[in-house]
Structure 1
Amino acid sequence: MIIDSLLEFSVAQALSATGVSTNVIDLGSDRDIGPGRAMWVVIQLGADAASAGTYQVDLQTDDNSAFSSPTVIGSVSPVAASAKAGARYVMGMPFANERYLRLNYTLGGTTPTLNVNAWLTDQDPTSWQAYPDGIA
């Protein structure tokens, strides 16, 4: 899969406390994306999550890049026991949003850790196919 660097929220972002994605996606203007090609937010773990932690990832939108009044428009809560390296969590991108998008990672528990890659894509996750090394 080819990933556009302008559509990446996080690249190998290591978290041990609640925080936001390294990158903010600027859609260029306040507008509804509108019906058309479906978009997906993909969160992929780069390492096993700490089993003693609790995790929630919120997709936030706002009309300014400082996110002074963010609105949550999507959410996913990985379960620590199944949050292993390579695991992917996918949420559909809502049509209604404001100009800027980011992810907010909420970590709880005694020793939470999370290493994530996250991006926005228009490739339907039901059609993704993994191949062993050496096969294209």
Structure 2
Amino acid sequence: MIFDRQTLLSDAQAITATGPSTNVIHLGPIKAGLTRDIGKGEPIPFLMQVVESFNNLTSLAVTIQTDDNEAFASPKSVITTTLNLADLKAGKIIPPSHVPRGTDEPYLRLLYTVTGTAPTTGKITAGFTAGVPSHG
């Protein structure tokens, strides 16, 4: 996959506890009186992929969040995907494969929520990409 550093949320980010993606993407300002939802219209490819297999945890939930400020004082959850440990193997592509509807605020990040014992291995790369393979 081809990633652009400016649109990368996690770059082989080790997930050892519940927390946000390393990076936050600023989608740009919204002019007064206008609304934006980058999930509408032509699909924007988005890839979240396990790049190192996980151990220990029971499950991992990955939530796409938006907010009107970079500190994520009042984040809005757009979509959450939960995977069990058995599915968190290197190469696994985590849905969704496109930015979902409801992605309508200026800042975007991921929130990783660990259930069970904290993993000591497990990494994810995620961000906008030129395209997403249909397998995984």
Report the TM-score range of the alignment, normalised by the length of the smaller protein: 0.7 to 0.9
1:75 pairs with 2:66: no
Q: Aligned-pair distance for 1:124?
A: 5.0
- Partners of 2:93 and 2:28 lie apart in 1 by 28
- Partners of 2:68 and 2:9 lie apart in 1 by 17
- Assess if the C-alpha contact under 8 Å between 2:51 and 2:123 holds in 1: yes
Cα distance change on mapping 1:124 and 1:2 into 2, 3 Å = closer
Aligned-residue RMSD, C-alpha: 2.1
Deviation per CA, 1:65-110, whole angstroms, max 9, x where unpaired? 0100000001111221121111111213123310000000001212
Q: Which is helix-richer, 1 or 2?
A: 1
1:108 pairs with 2:115: yes
Structure 2 residue matching 1:60: 3-state secondary structure: strand
Q: Aligned-pair distance for 1:51?
A: 4.5
- Partners of 2:132 and 2:76 lie apart in 1 by 25
Cα distance change on mapping 1:59 and 1:101 into 2, 3 Å = same
1:20 pairs with 2:20: yes
Cα distance change on mapping 1:84 and 1:124 into 2, 3 Å = closer
Find the counterpart in structure 2 of residue 39 from structure 1.
44
Structure 2 residue matching 1:35: 3-state secondary structure: coil
Instruction: Say which of 117, 125, 130 aligns to 1:117.
Output: 125
Structure 2 residue matching 1:54: 3-state secondary structure: strand
1:94 pairs with 2:100: yes
Structure 1 residue matching 2:6: 3-state secondary structure: helix
- Partners of 2:92 and 2:125 lie apart in 1 by 11
Structure 2: gaps spanning 5 or more residues: 31-35
Aligned-partner residue type, residue 93 of structure 1: V
Aligned-partner residue type, residue 105 of structure 1: Y
Cα distance change on mapping 1:29 and 1:77 into 2, 3 Å = same
Which consecutive segments of 4 or more residues in structure 1 shift more than 6 A? none
Name the TM-score, length of structure 2 as normaliser: 0.82
Structure 1: gaps spanning 5 or more residues: 129-136
Aligned-partner residue type, residue 127 of structure 2: W
Structure 2 residue matching 1:81: 3-state secondary structure: helix
Tell me which moved more, 57-66 or 80-89. Answer: 80-89
